[in-house]
Each structure stands twice: as C-alpha cells, then as structure tokens.
C-alpha cells in the first residue's frame, strides 16, 4: 500500500535423526516428525499449543481435521475459499551452477501461483550434502500441508535434485511485494539437545488450524 518495511532476519534449526526430524523456526514455531509413529506435531510457542496430524494426511484436509461428518461439513463450508487458495508450482531446471558455501549447486526456477497472487522462486540445490533430501523437503514444507494443491506441489518439487541450499522468494500478493532469502549456513553431525523430539511440557493440544479459520 505504498509503504516499505525494513528487513528482518532469524535462524531456523533442523535436526535429522533415525526415524525422526524436527525444525525450530526462531522462537515462534516448531515441527516434530516421528516417522515410525506416522505423527507430525505442529507447535505454536506463542500460544503454547500444538496440533497433531498423521504424516500421511498432509495435503488431505479432511483427514487432517480428523475425518467424519463434522470434517466433511467444514470442507463444504470452506470450499470456495480453498479453491481460491489452491497452490500450483512449475519447476524449470536450468544449466546455471554456482558454489555456495561448501556445496556445488544447480539453479532451478519455480513459478508458484496461489489465489490472487504468486511467487517467482529461485532455488539453488546440491546433491553433495549427506542428508535425506526428501525428508528435509517434507519437513520444511509441512506447514503448507493445510493448503489445497499440496500433494501436486510436492510431486512437482521432485524435479529438484538434492537439498535446497539457497532459496530466493519474490512474492506478489494483492499488490504487496515481499522478498525473502533462505540459506543453509552449516551442516554437521552432532547430538540433538534433550527434548528436541518431544512436545514441550504444559502445551495445550488444539485442532488443526485451517486457513482463515483461526487456531
């Protein structure tokens, strides 16, 4: 609306263990994935609450809401809004390469559309890093699992070979422009702190929040 906001930055940490993974997004949100139990916890530190969803339900909004008649009614009510919010991505590999940090990277151009706007995304990915690329991708994209089109989006992102080391988003949504850059700074083997893969004490379990439906 003709105004500019100053840039801000924060640090996210991702942990990958045997049959489990976790991501802390600053001090505001965390995700814990327990693959052997098919559980993902989405944690809101501001409200001291969390939602529990089956990992294989990501992208299936009805299943994420627990299924049953109540979930079907909510889906019917939300259909016009969800149709508008459906996301779609097109990945185009390029021949451009660049070394970023310790990794040899290849550039991918991604065009993403959703609702009344979209984003041009520049992804530099490497196959040099010794991590499970697919688990990292699912972990970092889990919050998008509530959006329609998630499963097709994840299938398209399979065209990106390796781990995204640097990602530049240029978003235009209803004439509001936002640019953000995510970059992996360091990858190393170390023991995760105690409690990394467990829920914080005293947090309240809530229903999975749907877009536009509040917490």
Flag whether 2 is in a domain.
Answer: no
Question: How would you write the pLDDT of the chain (215 residues) with one tens digit per residue?
Answer: 677 888 888 889 999 998 999 999 888 899 999 999 999 999 999 999 999 988 888 877 666 766 677 767 776 766 666 666 788 899 999 999 999 999 999 999 999 987 767 899 999 999 999 898 888 988 888 878 877 788 888 999 999 999 999 999 998 777 778 899 999 999 999 999 999 999 999 999 987 654 333 33
Flag whether 4 is in a domain.
Answer: no
Flag whether 141 is in a domain.
Answer: yes
Flag whether 1 is in a domain.
Answer: no
Q: How many domains does the chain have?
A: 1
Flag whether 187 is in a domain.
Answer: yes
Residues 92, 123, 103, CA angle at the centre, nearest 5°? 120
CA contacts within 13 A on the Cβ side of 172: 3
Count, residues in the chain: 215
Flag whether 192 is in a domain.
Answer: yes
What pLDDT was estimated at residue 27?
A: 85
Flag whether 156 is in a domain.
Answer: yes
Flag whether 3 is in a domain.
Answer: no
- CATH code of the domain containing 49: 2.50.20
Domain that holds residue 64: 12-205
Listing DSSP states for 55-105 in one string gives: GGGTT-HHHHTT-HHHHHHHHHHHHHHHHHH-EEEEEEEEEEEEEETTEEE
């Amino acid at each position: 609306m003709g105004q500019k906001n100053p840039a801000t930055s924060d640090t996210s940490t991702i942990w990958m263990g045997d049959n489990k993974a976790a991501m802390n997004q600053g001090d505001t949100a965390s995700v814990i994935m327990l693959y052997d139990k098919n559980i993902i916890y989405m944690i809101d530190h501001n409200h001291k609450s969390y939602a529990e969803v089956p990992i294989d339900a990501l992208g299936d909004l009805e299943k994420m809401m627990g299924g049953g008649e109540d979930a079907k009614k909510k889906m019917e009510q939300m259909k016009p809004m969800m149709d508008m919010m459906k996301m779609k991505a097109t990945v185009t590999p390029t021949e451009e390469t660049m070394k970023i940090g310790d990794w040899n990277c290849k550039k991918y151009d991604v065009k993403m559309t959703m609702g009344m706007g979209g984003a041009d995304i520049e992804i530099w990915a490497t196959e040099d890093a010794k991590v499970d690329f697919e688990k990292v991708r699912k972990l970092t994209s889990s919050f998008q699992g509530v959006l329609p089109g998630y499963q097709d989006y994840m299938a398209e992102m399979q065209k990106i070979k390796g781990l995204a080391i640097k990602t530049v988003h240029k978003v235009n949504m209803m004439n509001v422009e936002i640019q953000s850059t995510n970059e992996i700074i360091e990858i190393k083997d170390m023991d995760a702190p105690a409690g990394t893969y467990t829920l914080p004490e005293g947090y309240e379990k809530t229903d999975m929040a749907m877009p536009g439906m509040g917490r």
